[in-house]
């Protein structure tokens, strides 16, 4: 089974590239973030035409997450929103069960700066996510994936010194991420298969940062231990950060050994 997670930075603006990804890789399950799309504007007909059912949690103009599921697979027991999220209106979490596995698409708050009120909101979201991961673990194998907005280690940023004092690399954020993986007994799929590689999933649109490879690895697929044993491959498709109207994130592809 091929699973993909991708922050598309607007599903409507990115629809041609999303359809390109679906056609090229034919993934079974796709987690999308920053759909930035109201429920009435969801391009459900185009996605259906491509062979995918959609679970979408919308906050209108900002954020928004979705799961696409390729027929004949079907999403079961969808859950929209993270239980315990202090700001549930932002639509940063959705779940569905596919082929017996619980899939989560999440868009963790950015946090802006360490002294911004958004920063404790980010930590509170991560704390609720850890609780939810621990609860899912009692029920099913799972994949919690999305734009975690945390670089797990210094190797996951192009210049660790440049990020000292910034969000995405701070100790509280990294500890909160560790609490999610510990509570859910989860493994960072890319790092598990590539212990030493430096690869990024996000590059700022500005200043030619992509072409200089000045990026961060902040889009993660966290897989439960039962799935980690069967992982076949994991990679980042940088081609989707190139070309016509790219997102500022590249998709992360995970081949799960589910047959």
Partner DNA sequence: ATGACTTTCACGGAAAGA
User: So which residues are the catalytic ones?
Assistant: 107, 147
Owner of token pair 């999403």: 75
Which residue of 16, 24, 39, 41 would you call a contact of DNA, by CB under 7 A? 41
Distances from the Cα of 210 to the Cα of 206, 207, 218, 246, angstroms:
8, 8, 15, 11
* Cα gap 157→152, rounded to integer Å: 9
46 binds DNA (CB under 7 A): no
Tokens 């969000």, located at residue: 167
Question: What are φ and ψ of residue 178, in 5° steps?
Answer: -60, -35
- By CB under 7 A, tell whether 34 contacts DNA: yes
- For the bound state, the minimum distance from the C-beta of residue 224 to DNA, rounded and expressed in Å, comes to 25
Indicate the residue among 28 and 156 with the shorter CB distance to DNA: 156
- Exactly one of 168, 191, 217, 241 binds DNA (CB under 7 A); which one? 168
Instruction: Between 9 and 181, name the residue whose CB sits nearer to DNA.
Output: 9
* 90/124 Cα distance (integer angstroms): 14
Q: Are 145 and 221 in contact (CB under 8 A)?
A: yes
Residue 7 interacting with DNA (CB under 7 A): yes
Task: Say which residues have a Cβ less than 8 Å from residue 250's Cβ, sequence separation at least 6.
Answer: 6, 200, 201, 202, 219, 236, 237, 238, 240, 241
**Footprint of DNA on residues 136-155 (CB under 7 A)?**
147, 149
Q: How many residues does the chain have?
A: 259
Q: Least Å distance between CB 30 and DNA? A: 17
In the complex with DNA, which residue's Cβ is closer, 156 or 188?
Answer: 156
- Footprint of DNA on residues 201-240 (CB under 7 A)? 202, 204-207, 216, 218
196 vs 206, beta carbon nearer DNA: 206
Q: Which is nearer to DNA, 75 or 109 (CB)?
A: 109
Q: What is the nearest approach in angstroms of DNA to the Cβ of residue 246?
A: 8
Q: Does 13 bind DNA (CB under 7 A)?
A: yes
The first and second tokens of residue 95, run together, are: 């779940």
What span, in angstroms and rounded, lies between the C-alpha atoms of 179 and 170? 14
156 membership: H or E segment, kind and range: none
- Angle, helix 171-184 to helix 118-137, in steps of 10 degrees: 10
| Site of interaction with DNA (CB under 7 A) | 7, 9-10, 12-13, 34, 36, 38, 41, 60-63, 109-110, 112, 118, 147, 149, 167-168, 202, 204-207, 216, 218, 245, 248-249
């Amino acid at each position: 089974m091929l699973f993909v997670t991708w922050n598309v930075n607007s599903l409507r603006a990115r629809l041609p590239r999303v359809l390109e990804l679906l056609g090229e890789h034919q993934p079974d399950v796709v987690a999308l973030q920053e759909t930035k799309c109201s429920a009435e504007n969801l391009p459900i007909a185009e996605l259906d035409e491509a062979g995918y059912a959609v679970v979408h949690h919308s906050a209108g103009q900002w954020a928004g997450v979705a799961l696409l599921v390729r027929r004949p697979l079907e999403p079961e027991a969808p859950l929209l929103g993270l239980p315990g999220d202090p700001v549930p209106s932002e639509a940063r979490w959705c779940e569905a069960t596919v082929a017996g596995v619980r899939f989560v698409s999440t868009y963790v708050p950015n946090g802006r700066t360490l002294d911004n009120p958004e920063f404790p909101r980010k930590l509170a979201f991560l704390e609720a996510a850890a609780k939810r991961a621990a609860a899912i673990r009692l029920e099913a194998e799972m994949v919690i994936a999305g734009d975690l907005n945390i670089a797990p280690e210094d190797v996951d940023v192009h210049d660790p010194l440049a990020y000292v004092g910034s969000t995405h690399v701070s100790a509280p954020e990294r500890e909160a991420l560790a609490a999610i993986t510990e509570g859910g007994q989860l493994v960072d799929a890319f790092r598990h298969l590539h212990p030493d590689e430096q690869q990024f999933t996000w590059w700022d649109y500005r200043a030619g940062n992509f072409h200089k490879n000045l990026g961060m690895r902040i889009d993660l697929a966290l897989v439960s231990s039962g799935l980690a044993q069967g992982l076949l491959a994991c990679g980042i498709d940088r081609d989707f950060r190139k070309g016509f109207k790219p997102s500022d994130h590249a998709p992360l592809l995970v081949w799960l050994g589910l047959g």
